[in-house]
Amino acid sequence: MQIIAGKWKSVILYHLFQGDATRFSTLDRAIPSVTARMLALQLAQLEEDGVIAKQDSDDDRRETEYVLTPFGQTLAPVIEAMAAWGAAYNAREKERV
């Protein structure tokens, strides 16, 4: 659990699994409440833990993309379950208001 512990790692992984954000700048825009420094730290930790890897972009060699490693891809059921729970929790909270 330590690998995905913390406020931002599961959010980062969710966006990587969705495929909608793979570059630092797109992740930064997709998660507006995280600071650039914290995003960089979390990405570095995920890379150090072997969950993600950096690779050169196909579009522009100067750009780096973050991709899930085979080990990182094994977290798909966990992230999907967390997203489903979050959606159910948000729906429940909306009903209470």
Pick the more confident residue, 61 or 68. Answer: 68
Judged against a pLDDT cut of 90, whether residue 31 lies above it is answered with yes
- pTM here is 0.86
The sign of the torsion formed by the CA atoms of 29, 51, 65, 22 equals negative
pLDDT at 62: 79
pLDDT digits (tens, 9 = 90+) for 75-94: 999 999 999 999 998 888 87
**pLDDT above 90 as % of the chain:** 67
What does each C-alpha distance from 19 to 50, 67, 70 come to in angstroms? 18, 9, 15
Q: How far apart are alpha carbons 40 and 46 in whole angstroms? A: 10
pLDDT tops 80 at residue 27 = yes
Q: Is the pLDDT of residue 57 over 80?
A: no
Give the single-character DSSP code of 2. Answer: G
Tokens, residue 82:
């967390």
| Range 66-74 average pLDDT | 96
Query: Residue range 23-49: average pLDDT?
Result: 96
State which residues form the domain around 85: 2-96
State the Cα–Cα distance between residues 97 and 4, nearest whole angstrom. Answer: 31
The domain spanning residue 66 has which CATH number?
A: 1.10.10.10
Quote the number of domains for the chain: 1
Q: What are phi and psi of 36, to 5 degrees?
A: -60, -40
The tokens of 21 are what?
A: 């954000």
Residue 60 has pLDDT above 90, yes or no: no
